[in-house]
Amino acid sequence: MVLGTAVFHILIFGTSVSAFGLPSQTDCARTCDPSEVVLSDHSQWEHEDGFWLGEYSYFDGNGDPVYEAEKWNYPYNHYKGFITGSVDAGSYSQRNVFLYPPQTSTRCALNDVVAFDGDTCGLNGGIKKYEADQTTQECNTCQEGSVSGPYNGLRSTTELVGAGNALLYQLFETIDGVETLRHSQLTTITTLANGSIHRTRTAQLFSPEAAGKPGAPTYASFYRETKVSGEVFFEALTNTLADWNVSDVAVGKICYGGIDNLKQFLEGGRTWPVADKYECPAAPVVFRIMRWTATGAGKYPDTFGRTTIMGELVSAADISAAAGVGAGLSPSSLTGYGWWEDAVLVWTTTGAGKYPDTFGRTTVMGELVSAADISAAAGVGAGLSPSSLTGYGWWAVKVLRWTATGAGKYPDTFGRTTVNGELVTAADITAAASVGSGNLTPTVLIGYLWWEVVA
């Protein structure tokens, strides 16, 4: 079963179904020792141990491939899955990575939104990851091998069905005290004449509106998976990332550190005990230091809680307020609109030395872009903005960090004892600007060697 990100407990459950050849309530124990449960005694669970390559399709209630650009603007008609899984005594574990091809040019013309900064609709593919770890808490031998437990606040059950070759997973929402079906998925395990093992899965999703009434189908999936060796599995992962141009930024967003860490995450589906499973590290929080432009300053004072001023630094509260507008306005979109601009920029190899008469000097690679540089650029022709010059590759956005020299200085001013290597936040810049006459700018503090530009 493919599940979203969750860690939850399961229990062995049972119902008397002796008419179908299973033990009656009088033939089996209503309780047993969970520590003695061995899921691998059942062929369906035994096959979970391994690496699975999947070809997937996901449809809406009309039977068409799902297209919901604002949620996920990548094709759902044909995408790929990479799943690892295994059982250990009464426990089950799974790790999933799904890869999506770039959106079609037709769809990009309708909406070119992407999920990852710097990506381009129609050029870059997408990526998601999920995980599930389950542990038996209680058991009942009346229906051995079946499991149940909470998932995202709902109750889930998985029953072993068929001739030792299938599982039925269902998810229930409680409405007015009645458990109502939300999701039903059948997985069938088959072996071909050549010995290869396959899983075929079909799921139906519903949107219940009343107690005991699942309602009309809203989505359906068709998954085709093949069990392969670890070598084939990871080679296919690497090749698909390249073929679909899934960017390093995208991989890093779901598993910081890149593909090597992503591979370790996937190995977690076959690593025991649970405490030894690899978790993707959290990405360091990078505060993009921005300021209000003449175009954006003063806009929507009710949204931002004040009348913003040109040159004022964008605060964390501003970013949160913008994210709450409509479908959400990101820093990237507001810099694109020209409302915000990056406040920490450096000259690149491409731009350094260009137009010395305009900028009043021969600029040097790595040199901070000054306010005078921004003003000079704005006076060229129709005006060159920071956004356009970063787009041309002349300037690049950089972040700052505390140095050994500056770390720990003035804890009362900065609200904490700063640490060497810690990223400078927007709040730090605001705090520094409030000292004395307000001349402690990023440029000044870099000159004092308190802060340094992160390469």
Name the average pLDDT for the chain: 82
Classify residue 28 by its DSSP letter: S
Q: What is the pLDDT of residues 101-140, one digit of tens each?
A: 999 999 999 999 998 877 899 999 999 998 877 776 667 6
Long-range own/partner contacts, residues 275-280 (CB < 8 A, 24 or more apart): 277/93, 277/133, 280/129, 280/254, 280/255, 280/256
Q: Output 229 or 437, whichever has higher pLDDT.
A: 229
CA torsion through residues 225, 226, 227, 232, sign = negative
Q: Angle, nearest 10°, between helix axes 230-243 and 259-267? A: 140
When pLDDT is averaged across residues 281-306 and rounded to a whole number, the result is: 77
- Strands 126-135 and 6-7 turn out to be parallel
The residue among 223, 266, 271, 265 whose CA lies nearest residue 86 is 271
- Say which amino acid occupies 324: G
How remote is the C-alpha of 189 from its chain's centroid? 30
pLDDT at residue 74, rounded to an integer: 97
Of residues 377 and 234, more confidence is placed in 234
- Give residue 56's pLDDT band: very low, low, confident or very high (50, 70, 90): very high
Break the chain into its structural domains and give their ranges: 6-276, 400-453
Evaluate the CA torsion angle 86, 72, 155, 221 in order and state its sign.
negative
Helix (H, G, I), strand (E, B) or coil at 444: helix
CA-CA-CA-CA torsion for 329, 330, 332, 337, nearest 10 degrees?
Answer: 20
- Within 10 angstroms of residue 336's Cβ, the number of other Cβ atoms is 12
Per-residue model confidence (pLDDT) at position 282:
67
The residue-averaged pLDDT of 318-336 equals 77
Most confident of 107-111, 334-338, 440-444: 107-111
What are 58-100's pLDDT values in tens digits? 999 999 999 999 889 999 999 999 999 999 988 888 999 999 9
Q: What is the pLDDT of residues 129-178, one digit of tens each?
A: 988 777 766 676 777 787 776 677 788 888 889 998 999 989 999 999 99
Instruction: Please report the pLDDT score of residue 1 as a whole number.
Output: 45
- What's the DSSP call for residue 346? E
Q: What backbone phi and psi angles, to 5 degrees, belong to 357? A: -65, -40
Angle among Cα 121, 125, 129 to the nearest 5 degrees reads: 130
Count Cβ neighbours within 10 Å for each residue of 203-230 and write b for 16 or more, e otherwise.
bbbbebeeeeebeebebbbebebbbbee
Q: Which residues contact 363 (CB under 8 A, 6 or more apart)?
A: 347, 351, 352, 353, 354, 356, 373
The model's pLDDT over 15-53, given as tens digits with 9 standing for 90+, comes to 333 333 344 445 666 567 777 888 899 889 888 889 999
pLDDT tens per residue across span 197-238: 999 999 999 988 888 899 899 999 999 999 999 999 999 999
pTM of the model: 0.62
Question: Is a pLDDT exceeding 70 seen at residue 5?
Answer: no
Q: Cα dihedral sign for 59, 60, 66, 70?
A: negative
